[in-house]
Chains A and B, each alone.
Chain A
Amino acid sequence: MAEAAHAPHHPTQKAYWQIFVLLAVITAVEVAIAYIDMPSWLFVGGLTVFMVMKFAIVVGYFMHLRYDINLHRGFFTFGVIGAIAVFVVLLATFRAL
């Protein structure tokens, strides 16, 4: 029934383990970066890139948003993008970015 249509898209058990290892590696790299001193823009930029990658991987594969209908994607991205936009403007008015 509806589930059958979804099954092939779901990552297999083995794929989940691979995704998990990838996430662990990214976390390790992030921690490593924390100990290397580098120009602050590279430091913050690099950490943000890795953070966004981990965020996207977990949301995409573990929460199956990649295979989900546009409605659910719409709800969540509206929340995430909305939050980022609104709070960047808030911190800008406080000149605390």
Chain B
Amino acid sequence: MAVTTPELTATEPHGPTGLWSWITTVDHKRIGIMYGITALVFFVVGGLEALLLRLQLASPNAEVLSADAYNQLFTMHGLTMVFMVVMPIAAAFSNYFLPIMLGARDVAFPRLNALSYWVFVGAGLFMYSSFILGGAPDGAWVGYAPLSTQLPETVRMDFFALGIQVAGIASIASSANFIATVFTMRAPGMTLMRMPVFAWMTLIVAFLLIFSLPIVGVGLWQMFFDRNFGSTFYLAAAGGDPLLWQHLFWLFGHPEVYVLILPAMGIVSEVLPTFSRKPLFGYAFVVFAGIAIAFLGFGVWSHHMFTAGMGPLAEAGFALSTMFIAVPTGIKIFNWIGTTWGGSLRLNTPMLFSLGFVAMFVIGGLSGVTHSIAPSDTQQHDSYYVVAHFHYVLFGGAIFGYMSGVYYWFPKWTGRMLNETVGKWHFWLMMLGFNLTFAPMHLLGLNGMPRRIYTYPEGLGFEFWNFIATLGAFTIAVSVLVFIVNLIWSKRKGDVAGPDPWDGRTLEWSIPSPPPEHNFDEVPVVRSVDDFWHRKYTEDEEGRLVPMPAVSGGALAVDETTTGGDDDGHGEIHMPSPSYYPALTAVGMTVSAFGLTYTPWGWIAVGVGAVTMLLGLFGWAVEPVTKEDQ
């Protein structure tokens, strides 16, 4: 089914090569690859932190880590996994595949896209530099005041406050970018209801991010001012209320957890139909369930604060709103099972991970519902039961979903297949290790083991299950090693995958892999959901699948596209030219963040950083998108 690629006459601007080409790239595919690699590196780092934590908790009163080291590591494990692993992996897939799935040649603002990546990298390095500059943040990933503002003379929580602020700016920029891309750059004929579900989920995630990050931005500025300029936002003695931070944080926090899971749900909604050879069951219902989750996501934040003393009315209200989030989630799960029902399932690794996602997310979702029961949540809150819940939805859910995405789309961005046998070993090892680690935590939590404790005494019945969890954690580590071996080996020696190895349904399978920089020679006209599938197959009278009668080899995909007026359809394709301004602006922003951490003498660095940022922004605002435009 290879699409014969007409002779390219696109004038590829002769871009720089080597490292400089990566620093100045504005191609959404290369930025996607950079996001993916950075996320994988942080995933390994976050994983090592988790192993250290598990070693310390393997036995009571252990001496592996001191309390101070443990606190830094569990805080950085949380921050790393949320802000530097799961969000960037979602960004990697969205950056790479959103434009292609919509039939576009790039995102709406290529240079803003580059800025988002470089600011994210700046934020990551800024936060990790804290390890050698006086200790990493140790206030837990939620950084509750007044603990976060108790020691203004240290810099640890300044790295927390400014690190998330800078990462937030990167996410707001990329959200605006994706929203503009989805609403203004779809292929002709592709209405919103003909978009792939992954595109829908990326759009909803962009809305969740762009409307929730400013709120935590205000909270973080307040924390930063309390710590460095003596303001009294959270100082109880002066009349400030520490609960204000919890409200502002969780107003962002809950939409954030949907930001972490929805892209994985989007990937599963692409993988399941492809490997069941059946359309997604109830496309519209899955999409509207996603939108419902987005709206409800803004109305439930205080279920993280049932024990904070908000009074019965608020607790009852948020318990009810939280309960009804289970309805749209249930719709999604039933529709996924509906998709596999009556299909012809090929159990390759992407399919295994997606099925693993559905199986594990059911457990995580149900334990989530038990949290919405406010009275029983007072026993579960801040215990290991909650740790089990969010690992079942974040690891069993998001990470399994993204692993499915990696196995599914690896052939597209490298041109080679990931090895199936090694893939299956990776899946089963991760499945086993995951359950061994996090299933016992349900029991530990209910047996009264609180969260974030660096050790526990003997005699409370925590020893056995903590040991099992540590074994599980090392099994996961082995499975991640198997995964990395698979990635490295297959990049060179994997079987050559054509443009459409899985007989896919969406537009990215209609272009060669790896795709050229301009994606489509001719932008396709889209007539239905899963349009590429309907060009290959049709249905006989009882709705059974029938291959489309073979049309002269390969012309199928080409003549379907707009011929673009009278010329022979290969008009000049101008791709935006590389630009170093985004990277420069990101460097300026990171330098300013370092400066702000070390005021008063830091003001010099802030000045230098601000000037660099202004230069970057000014050059960027005046520079034409494509150089020949002059």
Contacts and interface: CB of A to CB of B under 8 A. Distances in A.
Touch test A–B (CB under 8 Å): yes
Interface of A: 71, 75, 78-79, 82, 85-86, 89-90, 92-95
Contacts of B183: 71
> Binding site of A, secondary structure by majority: helix, strand, loop or mixed?
helix
A54 B298 CA distance: 28
Contacts of B179: 75
B241 interface: yes
Contacts of A93: 247, 302, 310-311, 314
A73 B32 CA distance: 31
Contact of B298 (A75, A86, A92, A95): A86
B251 interface: yes
A86 B251 contact: yes
B241 A94 contact: yes
Nearest to B302: A93
Nearest to B247: A90
A92 B179 CA distance: 32
Interface in B282-302: 298-299, 302
A71 B180 CA distance: 10
A82 B302 contact: no
Contacts of A94: 241, 243-244, 247
Contacts of B310: 93
Contacts of B251: 86, 90
A90 B250 CA distance: 11
B341 interface: no
Interface in B242-300: 243-244, 247, 251, 298-299
Contacts of A95: 311
Contacts of A86: 215, 251, 298-299
B211 interface: yes
Nearest to A93: B314
B241 A79 contact: no
CB-based closest 9 A-B pairs: A93-B314, A93-B310, A90-B247, A71-B183, A86-B298, A82-B211, A86-B251, A93-B302, A79-B211
* Size bracket of the B interface: 10 to 19
16 contacts: A71-B183, A78-B207, A78-B211, A85-B298, A86-B215, A86-B298, A86-B299, A89-B299, A90-B247, A93-B247, A93-B302, A93-B310, A93-B311, A94-B243, A94-B244, A95-B311
A62 B622 CA distance: 26
Given A90-B251, A94-B244, A94-B247, 10 more contacts: A75-B179, A78-B211, A79-B211, A86-B215, A86-B251, A90-B247, A93-B247, A93-B314, A94-B243, A95-B311
Interface string B567-582: 0000000000000000
Contacts of A75: 179
Nearest to A83: B211
A78 B203 CA distance: 15
A7 B105 CA distance: 31
A94 B242 CA distance: 12
Nearest to B251: A86
Nearest to A79: B211
A94 B243 CA distance: 9
Interface in B204-239: 207, 211, 215
Nearest to A75: B179
Contacts of B241: 94
A86 B241 CA distance: 19
Nearest to B248: A90
B374 to A, nearest CB: 14
Nearest to B211: A82
A77 B174 CA distance: 21
Nearest to B241: A94
Contacts of B298: 82, 85-86
A22 B302 CA distance: 43
B513 to A, nearest CB: 33
A82 B251 CA distance: 12
Nearest to B315: A93
A71 B192 CA distance: 12
Interface-central residue, A79, A85, A92, A93, by most chain B CB under 10 Å: A93
A93 B314 CA distance: 6
Contacts of B211: 78-79, 82
A11 B99 CA distance: 37
Contacts of B247: 90, 93-94
A5 B211 CA distance: 32
Contacts of B243: 94
Contacts of A89: 299
A84 to B, nearest CB: 12
Interface string B293-322: 000001100100000001100100000000
A78 B295 CA distance: 10
A51 B244 CA distance: 27
Interface string B307-351: 000110010000000000000000000000000000000000000
A90 B218 CA distance: 14
A1 to B, nearest CB: 17
A86 B255 CA distance: 13
Contacts of B299: 86, 89
A67 B139 CA distance: 49
Contacts of A78: 207, 211
A92 B211 CA distance: 20
Interface in B14-28: none
B181 to A, nearest CB: 13
A93 to B, nearest CB: 5
Contacts of A90: 247, 251
Interface in B475-489: none
A69 B207 CA distance: 19
A93 B215 CA distance: 17
A70 to B, nearest CB: 11
A75 B207 CA distance: 9
